[in-house]
Amino acid sequence: MHATSRLCAEVVAAIKTVVGHDKQQLHEPRFKGNESRYVQDCIASTFVSSVGPFVNRFEDELRTLTGAAHAVAVVNGTAALHIALLLAGVKPGDEVLLPALTFVATANAVAYCQATPHFVDSEVGTLGIDAFALREYLLANTVIQDGVCVNRASGRVIRVLLPMHTFGHPANMEALLAVASDFHLRVVEDAAESLGSYIGKRHTGTLGLLGTLSFNGNKTITTGGGGAILTDSAELGAKAKHLTTTGKMAHRWEYTHDTVAYNYRMPNLNAALGVAQLEQLPRFLSQKRALFNAYAAAFAGVRGVQLVHEPQSCTSNYWLQTLLLDTPDAAVRDALLDATNAAGLMTRPAWTLMHHLPMFRDMPRAPLPVAESLALRLINIPSSAGLVEAAT
């Protein structure tokens, strides 16, 4: 307990060295650009709803930023995932592979498709799905029949592999794409947390068949609520637009629809905020990297925890800064959470792992030793852009 008390004191001190003595939230948005101006312009135009120039501009700029051929702006990242999974061909009764270590929206979106989430393990290096463990697991537990991957135990088709880029750190997509190819899985990337994160020169969310982004209030940029679907396929891009706009057919005055569809379009008001926020993304990313560097210096002398850094050959957006305890220990983790929050520094453990939630407890899963361990080791610390100014 003496060692734990000392660790708590050192962690609080290290964070304060970087962020100062004010209270800090985990992640706050910054509105120092054209937010007010664009939102005023939007209101003055009267086009505040599901049609308007800011939505189109926001999508154009997302395309430019990510390199995706098509971007469709929607009400939030959960809606983006729902549609991306439908477009990837997920059908009722299918299974979808996703990490147990993720936010609940990833698994919920699978459930919306009446499909079964099937949880797989993560790796320490990226905090994303462990491609090598996945390959071993699929070799032992699936069979390819008629060109699709079948779960031997359940007899169900495993249709999609759904990696998530945890806290903005890119998963090992090269290895995951190879597994997906070998096992006939389509790939949808949950890039909700990784706007501005790259694998080599490719933006996260553009390596699979479809990818999704989130612009919730706690993300690197925000539209209030918002998300986007990314794809290079013209056909899927058009379908994404159609499915997110109630499936309405173009006509001068008729209201006709050709499929059960969704009211998921991002309102122009929210897109106006998003356009202003995107203008500041390069600065936010520099500031978040500067914050990582400052934390790295402050934690260099702290024994017992390490700061998570971007994976090799990747550029992370450093959305959430993360400490990893050297050893998994719930008591030490909770002591650190108590000490930091009591000091006015908002910190948070990993999400409760998906297979521990009551509604997903009975879903199929691979052995999850690393996810279980990470859940006892992970602590997110204050991560807002601008806590440390970027060197210019």
Residue 217 lies near its own copies (rule: CB under 8 A): yes
Nearer CB in complex with its own copies: 124/249: 249
Residue 259 lies near its own copies (rule: CB under 8 A): yes
Location of structure tokens 């209201």: 255
Residue 29 lies near its own copies (rule: CB under 8 A): yes
Residue 68 lies near its own copies (rule: CB under 8 A): no
Nearer CB in complex with its own copies: 273/278: 273
Confirm if 383 and 291 have CB atoms less than 8 A apart. Answer: yes
Residues in 90-129 that interact with its own copies by CB under 8 A: 103-105, 108, 111-112, 114
Segment contacting its own copies by CB under 8 A, of 73-81, 163-171, 204-212, 366-374: 73-81
Nearer CB in complex with its own copies: 201/253: 253
Residue 77 lies near its own copies (rule: CB under 8 A): yes
Least distance from C-beta 108 to its own copies, angstroms?
6
Confirm if 223 and 270 have CB atoms less than 8 A apart. Answer: yes
How far apart, in whole angstroms, are the C-alpha atoms of residue 355 and residue 372?
10
How far apart, in whole angstroms, are the C-alpha atoms of residue 156 and residue 245?
31
Segment contacting its own copies by CB under 8 A, of 28-36, 204-212, 230-238, 283-291: 28-36
Confirm if 145 and 86 have CB atoms less than 8 A apart. Answer: no
Segment contacting its own copies by CB under 8 A, of 154-162, 215-223, 292-300, 317-325: 215-223
How far apart, in whole angstroms, are the C-alpha atoms of residue 324 and residue 316?
17
> Alpha helix locations (H) across 220-259?
234-244
Confirm if 95 and 155 have CB atoms less than 8 A apart. Answer: no
Indicate which single residue of 137, 183, 198, 262 sits in contact with its own copies (rule: CB under 8 A). 262
**Using CB under 8 A as the criterion, what x/- string covers residues 293-332 for binding its own copies?**
----------------------------------------
How far apart, in whole angstroms, are the C-alpha atoms of residue 208 and residue 185?
10
Biggest alpha carbon–alpha carbon distance for the chain: 74
Nearer CB in complex with its own copies: 194/244: 244
Residue 51 lies near its own copies (rule: CB under 8 A): yes
How far apart, in whole angstroms, are the C-alpha atoms of residue 318 and residue 195?
10
How far apart, in whole angstroms, are the C-alpha atoms of residue 294 and residue 173?
28
Indicate which single residue of 267, 311, 364, 382 sits in contact with its own copies (rule: CB under 8 A). 267
